[in-house]
Amino acid sequence: MSNHKVHIFDTTLRDGEQVPGCKLNTKEKIELALALEDLGVDIIEAGFPISSPGDFHSVEEISRIIRNASVCGLSRAVKKDIEVAAEALKHAKRPRIHTGIGTSDLHIKAKFNSTREEILERAVQAVKWARNLVEDVEFYAEDAGRTDNEYLARVIEAVIRAGATVVNIPDTTGYCLPHQYGEKIGYLVNHVNNIDKAIISCHCHNDLGLATANSISGVIAGARQIECTINGLGERAGNTSLEEVVMVIKQHADLGFHTRVNSQKLNPVSRLVAETMRMPVQPNKAIVGSNAFSHSSGIHQDGFLKDSLTYEIINPEEVGADGSKIVLTARSGRSALAHRLHKIGYSFTRNDIDTIYGKFLQVADTKKEVNEEDLQNLAKAYLASTVEV
Ligand code: KIV
Ligand code: ZN
């Protein structure tokens, strides 16, 4: 069976950094860029050089340091933007300019007060300017998710002819359903004559919670690059989460794809990004949330303690998490109680546990979680009650 490489394009430092409150200074950006390189991403979108002198400086410094990933700078389809991006990237070993323009009728009319033909010409011109400055040029068709497929195919064919090496099909507003996004990529694969000369990229936003599903659907339909961020950070409801797509591809090896990412570094990098950006991760977040490997209901705990595979599809070590946790609440069962008591040194019989369990529930009903101190108290009280006088 064929096994295709999916390029991981990380945009934590650009789309992720657009989140209010997540702005990074150059030192912080460099630290995260090095962690992303070490994680094994293929492309680091380091910033939007024309947006501010600070971001220009960050892209320039990241370009000097990163050697094992392409470094990418964003631009609009504007000559000055493209020239500034090239300047910021001049020290990069593998520089990439990411340029593009809105292609949906809504963007063409509302944002540009223009026409489809004029936008197509501007797209081609932008790619030509960029190709005069660097070898690797990615074109984005902003709001491709809501762009008419026939027109989108014409734009994509024209920008590839102009020299685009990667064509990004963003679902900018997170509007598409997974089958629609997959069909869009499939349409391009089948209707763009020169599509074999470029890599198709997915850039899906999470407004309906479908970013990961849409990106995977895109890859199944022929895309070979996913744009994503650590912890799913990004505009509004965020971007496709890097850790999710990497683990979907790894868990479903039968799909025939792989990435270069070292999954054991996912949790450490997630924590670093959360701390540096001061943006905590929701506890129930897949792969990197603090509850991703916690079991608290009696039925789950009992099964998990008999065989972890009953309730865990990923070994926490595989993603660098601390390990599975048995959390005690009023919904927990006797097996979990016995397990946690055993961990702090008490080996009780089944009958002992039956008795302690009644007391445990009384405590658990008054609290969110029964902690180690509560367990010590329960065990000691039980032992004291059994001492003959
Ligand atoms: O969401 C989007 O369309 C973007 C582009 C600039 C690639 O972030
Ligand atoms: Zn985006």
Domains (ranges, CATH) in the chain? 4-276 (3.20.20.70), 294-386 (no CATH)
**Encoding tokens for residue 14?**
């650009």
| Shortest-distance atom of ligand 1 to CA 170 | 3
pLDDT of residue 344: 97
- Amino acid in position 263: S
Ligand number, closest to the Cα atom of 233? 2
DSSP-derived letter for residue 302 is H
Task: Give the ligand whose atoms come closest to the C-alpha of residue 169.
Answer: 1
Neighbours of 142 (CB within 10 A): 20
Ligand nearest the Cα atom of residue 74? 1
Amino acid code (one letter) for 253: A
Q: What is the distance of C-alpha 162 from the center of its chain?
A: 31
The answer to whether 332 and 301 are in contact (CB under 8 A) is: yes
Give the pLDDT confidence score for residue 387 in this predicted structure.
Answer: 83
How confident is the model over 50-65, as pLDDT tens digits?
Answer: 999 999 999 999 999 9
Is the sign of the CA dihedral 60, 63, 66, 72 positive or negative?
positive
Return the residue matching tokens 């094994």.
40
- 252: enclosing H helix or E strand: none
Query: Residues 195, 108, 215, 126: is their CA dihedral positive or negative?
Result: positive
Using the atom order of ligand 1, give the atom closest to the CA of residue 168: 7
Amino acid at 43: I
Q: Report the distance separating Cα 310 and Cα 301, nearest Å.
A: 10
Strand-strand pairing, 136-142 and 95-102: parallel
- Residues 261, 171: Cα–Cα separation, whole Å: 24
> How remote is the CA of residue 98 from the centroid of ligand 2, in Å?
12
Question: What gap in Å lies between CA 266 and CA 36, rounded to an integer?
Answer: 10
Averaged pLDDT in 10-residue chunks for the chain of 389 residues: 94 96 96 98 98 98 98 98 98 98 98 98 98 98 98 98 98 98 98 98 98 98 98 96 98 98 98 97 98 97 97 98 97 97 97 98 97 98 87
Provide φ and ψ at 141, rounded to 5°. -100, 90
Output the residue whose Cα is nearest ligand 1's atom 8: 15
pLDDT, position 388: 65
- Find the 1 Cα to ligand 2 centroid distance in Å: 33
Q: Which residues pair with 295 in a beta bridge?
A: 326
Q: What is the DSSP letter of 241?
A: B
Choice from 142, 173, 204 to test ligand 1 binding pocket (greatest atom count within 8 A of CB): 142
pLDDT at 389: 60
pLDDT at 214: 98
Category of 323 on φ-ψ map: left (φ > 0), alpha (ψ -120 to 50) or beta:
left
- How much distance in Å is there from the Cα of 309 to the middle of ligand 1? 39
Ligand 2 mean position, distance from CA 172 (Å): 6
Residue nearest to atom 1 of ligand 1 (CA): 172
Q: Which of 103, 168, 236, 239 to mutate to test the pocket of ligand 1 (most atoms within 8 A of CB)?
A: 168
Closest ligand to the CA of 144: 1
Tokens representing 33 are 């860029």
Pocket, ligand 1, Cβ cutoff 6 A? 15, 140, 142, 168, 170, 172, 203, 205
Cβ–Cβ under 8 Å, residues 370 and 339: no
179 three-class SS? helix
